[in-house]
C-alpha cells in the first residue's frame, strides 16, 4: 500500500480492547506514531495530536504492538465508524478553504517530532 504519512484518506486506529477511532492523519515518530484527531486544526496540538509508542510496521494495514491502523472502509464495511467520519467529511466539503494545505500539515507534523521525507510536501 503506502507509507502512512502519505495517506490522506481517513484512518481507523484499533486500540487494544478493540476500541476503534477514526483519525484525520498519522505520521511516523521516533517513539512510534503521532495521529491527529478529526477536526484537529480547530484545536491545539496538546489536545488533538496523540503519540502511540512502539515500532511502526507494515505498509497498510500498519501495526504498533497491539494497535492496528487501516484506511476507513465504506458505509457497508464500517457503518459505525462512518458516523464518526461523516461530520468530518461534510465539514471539509463545506469549509475546504479553512483546512491547511498538505505542506503546512507536514510542517506541523515535523514540529511535533515526526520523521518525514522532505520530498513529499506538495499538495496531494
Report pLDDT digits (tens) over 8-63: 899 999 998 889 999 999 999 999 999 999 999 999 988 999 999 999 999 889 99
C-alpha cell at 66: 497491539
- Does 99 reside within a domain? yes
For the chain, what is the mean pLDDT?
A: 91
Residue 123 — pLDDT band, cuts 50, 70, 90?
A: very low
Give the C-alpha separation, 111 to 14, whole Å. Answer: 26
Which set of grid coordinates corresponds to residue 11?
484512518
Taking Cα atoms as reference points, which of 23, 41, 42 lies closest to residue 33? Answer: 23
Supply the pLDDT for residue 45. Answer: 85
Q: Strands 20-29, 67-71: parallel, antiparallel or unpaired by DSSP?
A: unpaired
Residue 71 forms part of a structural domain: yes
Cα 43 from chain centroid? 15
What does the alpha-carbon distance between residue 5 and residue 63 come to, in Å, rounded to a whole number?
14
Q: How confident is the model at residue 118 (pLDDT cuts 50, 70, 90)?
A: low
Stated pTM of the model: 0.89
123 lies in some domain? no
Domain extent, residue 79, equals 4-112
Question: How many domains does the chain fold into?
Answer: 1
pLDDT of 119: 52
Does 117 map to a domain? no
Q: What is the pLDDT of residues 58-112, one digit of tens each?
A: 988 999 999 999 999 988 889 999 999 999 999 999 999 999 999 999 999 999 9
State residue 121's pLDDT score: 52
The set of cell numbers assigned to 37 is: 484527531
Amino acid at each position: 500500500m503506502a507509507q502512512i504519512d502519505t495517506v490522506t484518506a481517513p484512518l481507523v486506529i484499533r486500540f487494544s480492547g478493540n476500541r476503534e477511532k477514526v483519525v484525520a492523519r498519522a505520521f511516523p515518530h521516533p517513539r512510534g506514531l503521532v495521529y491527529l484527531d478529526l477536526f484537529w486544526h480547530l484545536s491545539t496540538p496538546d489536545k488533538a495530536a496523540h503519540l502511540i509508542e512502539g515500532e511502526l510496521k507494515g505498509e497498510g494495514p500498519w501495526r504498533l504492538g497491539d494497535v492496528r491502523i487501516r484506511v476507513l472502509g465504506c458505509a457497508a464495511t464500517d457503518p459505525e465508524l462512518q458516523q464518526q467520519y461523516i461530520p468530518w467529511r461534510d465539514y471539509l466539503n463545506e469549509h475546504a478553504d479553512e483546512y491547511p494545505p498538505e505542506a503546512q500539515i507536514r510542517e506541523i507534523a515535523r514540529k511535533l517530532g515526526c520523521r518525514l521525507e522532505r520530498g513529499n510536501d506538495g499538495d496531494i
